[in-house]
Amino acid sequence: MRIFRAIAVVLAALVVVGARPAAAADSIDPDTGFKAFRDYFTKRFPNVPLNDFVNGPYSMDAELRKQWEAIDDFSPYDFAIDRGKEMFATPFKNGKSYGDCFPDSGIGIRQNYPYFDDKTGEVITLELALNRCREANGEEPYSYVKDEMASLTAYMAFTSRGKPFDIKIPNDPRALAAYEKGEEYFYTRRGQLNFSCASCHVQNPGNHIRTEVLAPALGIVAAMPIYRSEWNGMGTMSRRLVTCNSQVRGVPLKPQDELYRDVEYYLSYMSNGLPISGPGARP
């Protein structure tokens, strides 16, 4: 079977030519990068309304969209929202709760993550903030990839639906370096199959990879966490990154590795202004 799959890839590759949004100048300039990235997607997909990019493959493929709209009446992520809401309302053993760790008690704030923490000089994602909250209150951290973490982030995304991403990159060399490292990781090829994140999500959104329709990188973070039929369950941003790396036969980093957080920072900044749509459902 392997050889036939290889033939399909060869035939597809004979007609595919890629492109990358114009690279930034020698100094790190997130604003220029943002404009080039945004222009690339809006010019390539002039018929996709800007806010629809957050719907990933459904923004690219009318047939897939119909199927999604049909199942969305019984959203497969509803249980995760309910569970997350319950977890959010349940106090830790010390009497405090998640709400005490976040601005606005954690409601309607997902669009502000990840952010750059100027005290520690690192990128803080929502998942990392949740586990640090647990540890600060004497609780064991959760696995980053699914289950409880997916439920908590599903609920937090749900309370933020429709709010535009508002990611800030302060004029701090450490924040700019995080942005640049995230961008570099995103465009670097890796694994035996030699794919970068961008090979699929910048060069080929809307095209098929085997039976899947590839999602555009623009807005891809807005739907996290997602229920994936392929996973038969929920997965976080961490799960998405680890799985992507494995699928190209590369060695994944640890969930919430500094570099993964930098990638999320870069991608979220690129999605500034687009509405939170999570939790999402994907084939």
Partner 1 sequence: MKTRFPDRKELRGIVFDETKRNPQTVMPPFGRNLILTDGEIEAIVDFLYTR
Is it true that the peptide bond before 173 is cis, omega within 30 degrees of 0?
no
- β-partners of residue 164 are 275
What are the angstrom distances between the C-alpha of 45 and each of 41, 42, 219?
A: 6, 5, 13
Q: Which of 1, 17, 70, 251 binds partner 1 (CB under 8 A)?
A: 17
User: How far is residue 152's CA from residue 156's CA, in Å, rounded to a whole number?
Assistant: 6
Is 133 a residue of the active site? no
Q: Which of 80, 200, 217, 241 binds partner 1 (CB under 8 A)?
A: 200
> What's 199's DSSP letter?
H
CB of 43 to partner 1, least distance (A): 18
Stretch that binds partner 1, among 63-71, 85-93, 197-205, 229-237 (CB under 8 A): 197-205
User: How far is residue 251's CA from residue 184's CA, in Å, rounded to a whole number?
Assistant: 17
CB of 8 to partner 1, least distance (A): 10
Q: β-strands 226-228, 208-209: how paired?
A: unpaired
CB of 208 to partner 1, least distance (A): 12
Told to check if 23 binds partner 1 by CB under 8 A, we report: no
Positions 213 through 252 that interact with partner 1 (CB under 8 A): none
- β-partners of residue 227 are 234, 281
Told to check if 1 binds partner 1 by CB under 8 A, we report: no
User: How far is residue 85's CA from residue 106's CA, in Å, rounded to a whole number?
Assistant: 11
Told to check if 192 binds partner 1 by CB under 8 A, we report: yes
Q: β-strands 280-282, 226-228: how paired?
A: parallel
Site string for partner 1, 138-177 (x = CB under 8 A): ----------------------------------------
Distance of CA 119 to the CA centre of its chain: 25
Q: Which of 23, 136, 177, 193 binds partner 1 (CB under 8 A)?
A: 193
- Nearest residue (CB) to partner 1, 22 versus 177: 22
Active site residues: 244
Residues that bind partner 1 (CB under 8 A): 2-3, 6-7, 9-14, 16-20, 192-195, 199-200, 203-204
